[in-house]
Amino acid sequence: MSITIIFGSDGGATKGVASKIASKCQARSVDIKVATTEDFENCHLLILGSPTYGDGTLQSDWEEHIGKLRSANLKGKKVALFGTGDQQTYPSSFLNAMGILYDEISERGANVVGFTETAGFDYLESTAERDGKFVGLALDLDTQSGKTEKRVTAWLSQLL
């Protein structure tokens, strides 16, 4: 099964998670800055990752290159999401970027997989929470970095 991970990252934390996921499942990891429409389309499983910024926006490279995602044919494609955020500093917008990406891919007919439990997180609200679950792998590298490895492994076993 071919897997492509497309991510945006400024400080390197989300890139690090993308690399960790890629090494665990022999995936190809591509920065959104250099990704092509074909990168979104030519795989069996597409994984998208973004940190959430400030009041709940997408990472700047994602915002700048969102047209690549919007022009991709994702109808019926198996897509999973992961997001990084800080639940203590930004409790009212925790992982909102993952919610934004979820809405984008849902509008394009993707088959979204990899929902995860909200238990173990302490935040006020998040657009990444739908029907009591996160729409993808939720990670807080600022306050819960010790749980990242276990969460990534459990999530991948659910996807693969």
Domain residue extents for the chain: 3-159
Task: Answer for the pair 131, 17: CB distance below 8 angstroms, yes or no.
Answer: no
d(C-alpha 112, C-alpha 135), whole Å: 8
Residue 17, number of CB atoms within 10 A of its CB: 25
Residues of the chain predicted below pLDDT 70: none
Confidence (pLDDT) at 67 = 97
Across all residues in the chain, what is the average pLDDT?
Answer: 97
Predicted TM-score of the model (pTM)? 0.97
Domain 3-159 CATH class label: alpha beta
d(C-alpha 130, C-alpha 115), whole Å: 9
